[in-house]
Structure 1
């Protein structure tokens, strides 16, 4: 019994740092589960919010005692009340969350008539607007629960129509659709630039065009996914297309960054062995990260290994972000060494400057999308959760525009803007730089 409050405490602490981005009508099956807390949804309610929980085929088993139905139940917990519940758990090791005055208790298994082995449906309005988490609590550490659960959370709009998206995410369909239009326009502009500079087009430019296409399709599917969830509570298959294009887009993005960082197609038509190894590491890791993302997105936090999958996704993402920086550093080092021997100091200085700028841009992009966006999701009020999504898409668009501009196909690109007459000045600059280092 003493282990249960500590587990609950750690779980609630993790919940306070976690933001769930989807809410749908869900039908779940819990089998022989002894967890003290199971999180089903995290949803932002307006003053017209409703929550409905239906359970059936309920069974509670225990090898030590006869189960007490009042020690098992569903409840809502707001973000503000979470702190109070954590304090109660610290002060009283045997405290049961169901007894807390800071929760909104929906029902316990005592309400099932006859007790257990029956279906029960509880629907209640949420009058106080806030972000709530829907939990199931098992306050008997030695008992195991089996049941079928159907959850439905929604707000009513001005016309009385159900809106199954959280209050802070209801604008996402429009947001994603607008950004998809921007990327389609970007793709048309990129195609025009490539067609007007055919002689300077390399294979990397075709991959960059494919990246824009995948990003646009990914956003279109995201918009449709959220649109159908908003109206019906289910994505109608658009989530499958979303994950497919998400996978292709992320793998292609990291591949393009690595290939540009190695100078492939610009500086040399081949990859060295160590550069191939980076690609062989980054791509499988991205596959693993996307599988983890799909598991998290499709199953939700009620699965037993939800926390583990979150940790896997975070670790793999960090490894990939670090791995894609190595090729850029190698190219900078190679250019610095080459500038001492090939007699083309001006060109090498231009290349070196460009790769340094690209390195800074990639670092800034990774920092913003991994740290700043996460901070926005954590500190933003539940009504403004869409702001973090907008900030992430703006950062993505800005990064794409800068990267595509830096490595655009032009006859006299950044690699060759300096003429031979500038060689002496460039050599002096490189020598000064070497002296400073």
Structure 2
């Protein structure tokens, strides 16, 4: 039972997250003692294939003079089936996951004979989401090997599709969204040109964020397109990581700058606001490094769970950090309004920043919680819907930010007449009476 818990925890966590891509994956295992090692996950259609090539197989710490190597090998298992397999192991109905009727054995090491490598092609006709796993039921046997796994579905004239069944249309989705952002970039440039007399520095920064998001989507579309056709990204993943990093850093920086009122209400940043930027940017660097490690190593690595947790923690910290400047701005202007009658104007101006604060919270909650929940509960065939939901939310957030903070000579949020100022003062008085 104690031996089952680490593997059960690992697979439970692994099942909660989908890998970013289903490309041809090469993995190296060195003196690994784990009873269960997950390698890859893929959504098969009725014409699915798994090509498994394993080289340089060696053992250390043999459990006995004549070990039963049929208890060591690779198998495929669905998420639902694995829950029942674990139950069988706990109830001692079976002594090894490879002996369960609920798994599909791909290759067991008793077939090795005197060889230290093997190659096999497994045909999968039952459409479902499968995880490729390695079982080692001969403790304390340690295994070393180089594993190359290739998963794909056959389409049309037996053309290979290396993307999972639920992600095969992702190249088109990313390309369509990149076109939408190209339109936004052109529209924003037009606005900046027409309103060039009222343009602030923040507006050019917003243009840079849009451009980086566009390039990020284009690279991701090409990345997924090459993986779909060839099983490899051919270098497009490097560009994707670069633009993803720049997009993430600039987006969080933009939220901080807008939240502090920089370039709108004041031309400078306070020390504590600078500290927020100094925290957010390095954390984004860590988050992007963690993301690269997760994508490149896959779940078979010893530190995969740790890196996954680091990425989630850093992402949450970044999301919380960008909210502080907005809260500080609201608090400072509210306090100033109580001591300075003219400051009632600033309180009225802050209406926009209150709205923005709510929108930022909704955006973070939706993209971090709702999208994750959607990906978890959605059938493997419709995993692309979580991507569409996240990109639609991001697009709506960008449009809202641009519309509310566009350059305008008589923006009602920044210019108030006497009647509006009196209304603001009256509103402040009512709020004070309500608090008392």
Give the structure 1 partner of residue 56 of structure 2: 57
Judge conservation of contact 2:200–2:263 (CA < 8 Å) in 1: yes
Give the structure 2 partner of residue 71 of structure 1: 71
Judge conservation of contact 1:5–1:94 (CA < 8 Å) in 2: no
Verify: 1:31 aligned to 2:9, yes or no: no
Give the structure 1 partner of residue 106 of structure 2: 106
Give the structure 1 partner of residue 291 of structure 2: 293
Distance in 1 between the 2:142 and 2:89 partners?
22
What is the correspondence of 1:119-138 to structure 2 with a 5 Å cutoff? 119-138=117-136
> Are the structure 2 counterparts of residues 426 and 29 from structure 1 closer, same or farther at C-alpha, using a change threshold of 3 Å?
same
- Deviation string, structure 1 residues 409-428 (Cα, Å, up to 9, x no partner): 11112432421233222101
Judge conservation of contact 1:52–1:123 (CA < 8 Å) in 2: yes
Pairs aligned (count):
434
> Are the structure 2 counterparts of residues 93 and 145 from structure 1 closer, same or farther at C-alpha, using a change threshold of 3 Å?
farther
* Structure 1 position 161, deviation (Å): 0.3
Verify: 1:311 aligned to 2:313, yes or no: no
Question: Once superposed, which parts of structure 1, at least 4 consecutive aligned residues long, lie more than 3 Å away?
Answer: none
Judge conservation of contact 2:63–2:139 (CA < 8 Å) in 1: no
Distance in 2 between the 1:436 and 1:356 partners?
19
Judge conservation of contact 2:51–2:150 (CA < 8 Å) in 1: yes
User: Of 189, 192, 212, which residue of structure 2 is paired with 1:191?
Assistant: 189
Distance in 2 between the 1:94 and 1:245 partners?
49
Give the structure 2 partner of residue 143 of structure 1: 141
Give the structure 2 partner of residue 359 of structure 1: 357
* Structure 1 position 299, deviation (Å): 1.4
Give the structure 2 partner of residue 331 of structure 1: 329
Judge conservation of contact 2:52–2:149 (CA < 8 Å) in 1: yes
* Structure 1 position 89, deviation (Å): 2.6
What is the correspondence of 1:3-402 to structure 2 with a 5 Å cutoff? 3-62=2-61, 64-66=63-65, 67-92=67-92, 95-114=95-114, 117-345=115-343, 347-402=345-400
* Structure 1 position 9, deviation (Å): 2.0
* Structure 1 position 63, deviation (Å): 5.4
* Structure 1 position 335, deviation (Å): 1.3
* TM-score (structure 1 length as normaliser): 0.96
Distance in 2 between the 1:62 and 1:386 partners?
45
* Structure 1 position 50, deviation (Å): 0.5
Distance in 2 between the 1:352 and 1:80 partners?
51
**Unmatched runs of 5 consecutive residues or more in structure 1:** none
Distance in 2 between the 1:94 and 1:344 partners?
78
- Deviation string, structure 1 residues 279-306 (Cα, Å, up to 9, x no partner): 1111101110010001001111111100
Judge conservation of contact 2:177–2:217 (CA < 8 Å) in 1: yes
Distance in 1 between the 2:414 and 2:130 partners?
58
* Structure 1 position 171, deviation (Å): 0.3
Alignment RMSD: 1.4
Distance in 2 between the 1:5 and 1:271 partners?
53
- Deviation string, structure 1 residues 308-362 (Cα, Å, up to 9, x no partner): 0000000011111111110000000111122234433553233221111000000
* TM-score (structure 2 length as normaliser): 0.97
Distance in 1 between the 2:397 and 2:407 partners?
17
**Unmatched runs of 5 consecutive residues or more in structure 2:** none
